[in-house]
Amino acid sequence: MRMNLVLELLDVPGQLVDALEPIGRLGANIVAVIHQRDVKTEQGTVPVQITIEGDKDTLNHVLSALEDENICIIAVDGVLRKERIMSILIGNIVDQDVKSTVDMLNALDGVNVADFNLKMSDYPKNSAARILIEAESGKRKEVLKKIKEVGKSKEFLVINEV
Amino acid sequence: MKIFIMGFGAVGKGVVKVFSIKGNNLKQKYGLDFEIVAVTDTSGTALCDKGLDPDLLLNTKEKTGRVCDYPEYGIPGLSSPEALSKVEYDCLVEVTPTNIEDGEPAKTHMLKAMSDKKDVVTSNKGPLALCFKELVGTAKNNNVQFKFEASVGGAMPIINFAHENLSGCDIESIFGILNGTTNYILSRMAKEGSSYEQTLKEAQEMGIAETDPTQDVEGTDAACKIVILANSIMNMDVSLGDVEINGISKITPESIFLAKKEGYLIKLIAEASLDTLEVSPRLVKEGSPLSVEGTMNVATLKTDLAEDITVVGKGAGSVETASAILSDLISIWKSKK
């Protein structure tokens, strides 16, 4: 059987080779690799589409091996594995401990803060932060609820996506 | 069809104006003849069984500010409830200023009309957001019609649209921009990079925001409207107190800047869905159906059969809001033909 993967790799030398290594090692065939370095995400990573072939067990082993090496799998056979959730906070972001804000979100299983953008205002109490969260698919509701909770506890105005 | 208009402010004047503009047209098109038999304001009442002249009503109000100065048929000091029992009418058009504390006195007037077996059309959000069940129940028990399209989204068709055009669908959620003032302020802030305070002031100078903008900017107005939608088209049983409300007064240019950099806008969104009833600033993708600009209103209904359906329209304005009242009146008249 065949499996279509979309991976997201850092744009540095050697990344693609590292991602392909477990495929060959575990006995799957690579059918196609589409790798366009000039198409980048907002975070500067490069999406790579890979089609591999093998029996079911082999393909599953490949998936786990990629995960073990912390290679980001965006989609498997067109189904998103990760979703991105963006939120903006307004409030006394810095004094309310940026690290603990991020930690509280990272504490959720399968969720991590991928980007944190802070914009100070003339009044520090009204600073704004944009958080980009990557979460396993299906976790959106849980994450949005958590952001609201964090916002409430730190008196931030939370602006979630619709 | 004899009409009793209670309230002669912006919306009341719009209704009379629409009768003046459309009177002949409605007669030709439907054979429908509206007669205004009473108009009340705080000064008193103009009242005539044989019908008042729309243009003369508008001129009188324009000149003296008091409807009771209407030649011959004006009665100074005759209050709205007294007037209700002084004249024969078919339908009460209740368009007095809204009261979100207890919905009075509009609520009592509407209940009285219903128990007198009169149909009621209103644009008044307060009573609907506070005592929806009681009003709808009383109308049902008295076998009269109660319509309130103008209470949400002004000219934007949504309530009758959901009930009639989407009658076969279940509405699973509603997301909308239901307040034009805040949408104007946020649109300007996004365009100009200006501060909230500065933009609010500009909106007040243009007459878009009121001198006391609290109900708009703190989200109460939008909250009333989402309650009306949740009750009337999602069959929920909720009231204003059930809405989680956050307004736009804390929105900063910095936050709008951060959103825009990722292709998002900040909009005051009212949401009614299975487990959520809230009004709050939300991120909306630029170019998506909800990203309408200026004072426009918009609502997306998520349905089981037809997926997403979005309506857009002018959320305020005298004649615009009156257009929704007129459509309610015509639909009542048609149903009795």
Exposed/middle/buried for B136, CB within 10 Å: 0-12, 13-18, 19+?
middle
Interface test with A, best of B174, B194, B245, B252 (most A CBs within 10 A): B252
A75 and A90 in a single domain? The answer is no
- The CATH code of the domain that includes A143 is 3.30.70.260
pLDDT at B234: 96
A25 and A56 in a single domain? The answer is yes
**For residue A41, is pLDDT > 80?**
no
Residues of B whose CB is below 8 A from A85: none
CA-based nearest residue in chain B for residue A126 = B252
Q: Is the peptide bond before B105 cis (omega within 30 degrees of 0)?
A: yes
Query: A123-127, B19-23, B265-269 — which is least confidently predicted?
Result: A123-127
Counting one residue from chain A and one from chain B, the pairs whose CB atoms sit within 8 A come to 65
**For residue A138, is pLDDT > 90?**
no
pLDDT at A137: 83
Query: How far away is chain B from the Cα of A159, in angstroms, using its nearest Cα?
Result: 5
Query: How far away is chain A from the Cα of B281, in angstroms, using its nearest Cα?
Result: 6
Residues of B whose CB is below 8 A from A90: 250-252, 254-255
Do the Cβ atoms of A126 and B252 come within 8 Å? yes
Residues of A whose CB is below 8 A from B290: 162
- Rg of chain B in Å (alpha carbons): 20
A89 and A63 in a single domain? The answer is no
A88 and A31 in a single domain? The answer is no
The answer to whether the beta carbons of residues B183 and B292 sit under 8 Å apart is: yes
Which of B252, B259, B284 shows the shortest C-beta gap to A162?
B284
A68 and A128 in a single domain? The answer is no
A73 and A106 in a single domain? The answer is no
Please indicate whether residue A115 or residue B5 has the higher confidence score (pLDDT). Answer: B5
B147 among known catalytic residues: no
User: Sign of the C-alpha dihedral, residues A132, A134, A135, A137?
Assistant: positive
Of A57, A80, A103, which residue is a domain's last?
Answer: A80
* Catalytic choice (B225, B250, B260, B267): B225
Residues of A whose CB is below 8 A from B266: 88, 159
Of A60, A80, A100, which residue is a domain's last?
Answer: A80
Query: How far away is chain A from the Cα of B242, in angstroms, using its nearest Cα?
Result: 17
Query: How far away is chain B from the Cα of A88, in angstroms, using its nearest Cα?
Result: 7
**In angstroms, rounded to a whole number, what is the distance separating the alpha carbons of residues A107 and A128?**
22
Phi then psi for B191, rounded to 5 degrees?
A: -75, -45
pLDDT at A42: 65
State mean pLDDT over B313-334: 93
Straight-line distance from the first to the last Cα atom of chain A, in angstroms, rounded to the nearest whole number: 38
Residues of A whose CB is below 8 A from B251: 90, 157
The answer to whether the beta carbons of residues B190 and B260 sit under 8 Å apart is: yes
Q: Which two tokens stand for residue A54?
A: 């093998």
Which of A86, A121, A161 shows the shortest C-beta gap to B252?
A121
Do the Cβ atoms of B290 and A120 come within 8 Å? no
A89 and A71 in a single domain? The answer is no
**For residue B146, is pLDDT > 90?**
yes
CB atoms within 10 A of CB B211: 5
> Which range of residues forms the domain containing residue A41?
2-80
Instruction: Give the domains, in start order, of chain B with CATH numbers.
Output: 2-155+318-336 (3.40.50.720), 167-314 (3.30.360.10)
Is B131 at the interface with chain A, CB within 8 A? no
Do the Cβ atoms of A130 and B252 come within 8 Å? no
The answer to whether the beta carbons of residues B179 and B221 sit under 8 Å apart is: yes
What percentage of chain A carries pLDDT values higher than 70?
A: 99
Is B262 at the interface with chain A, CB within 8 A? yes
A72 and A86 in a single domain? The answer is no
**For residue B99, is pLDDT > 90?**
yes
CA-based nearest residue in chain B for residue A90 = B255
A89 and A75 in a single domain? The answer is no
Task: Compute the mean pLDDT over every residue in chain A, rounded to the nearest whole number.
Answer: 90
pLDDT at A83: 86
A89 and A41 in a single domain? The answer is no
**For residue A24, is pLDDT > 80?**
yes
**For residue B337, is pLDDT > 90?**
no
Instruction: Tell me the per-residue pLDDT of B174-216, one tens digit each, with 9 for 90 and over.
Output: 999 999 999 999 999 999 999 999 999 999 999 999 999 999 9
The residues on A that touch B, with CB distances below 8 Å, are 42, 86-88, 90, 117, 119-121, 126-130, 157-162
CB-based contacts of B71, cutoff 8 Å, min separation 6:
B56, B60
Which of A120, A128, A162 shows the shortest C-beta gap to B283?
A162
A20 and A70 in a single domain? The answer is yes
Is B275 at the interface with chain A, CB within 8 A? no
**In angstroms, rounded to a whole number, what is the distance separating the alpha carbons of residues B67 and B61?**
5
Q: Which two tokens stand for residue B262?
A: 């990722």
Of A42, A59, A80, which residue is a domain's last?
Answer: A80
- Total structural domains in chain A? 2
pLDDT class of A37 with cuts at 50, 70, 90:
confident
pLDDT class of A38 with cuts at 50, 70, 90:
confident
Query: How far away is chain A from the Cα of B304, in angstroms, using its nearest Cα?
Result: 19
DSSP per-residue codes, A59-95 = HHHHHHHHHHTT-EEEEETTEESEEEEEEEEEE-TTT
Q: Which one-letter amino acid corresponds to residue B56? A: L
- pTM of this structure: 0.87
Instruction: Tell me the per-residue pLDDT of A83-119, one tens digit each, with 9 for 90 and over.
Output: 889 999 999 999 888 999 999 999 998 898 989 999 9
pLDDT class of B147 with cuts at 50, 70, 90:
very high
| Beta pairing class for B119-122 and B91-94 | parallel
A65 and A126 in a single domain? The answer is no
Please indicate whether residue B30 or residue B226 has the higher confidence score (pLDDT). Answer: B226
Instruction: Tell me the per-residue pLDDT of B255-288, one tens digit each, with 9 for 90 and over.
Output: 999 999 999 999 999 999 999 999 999 999 999 9
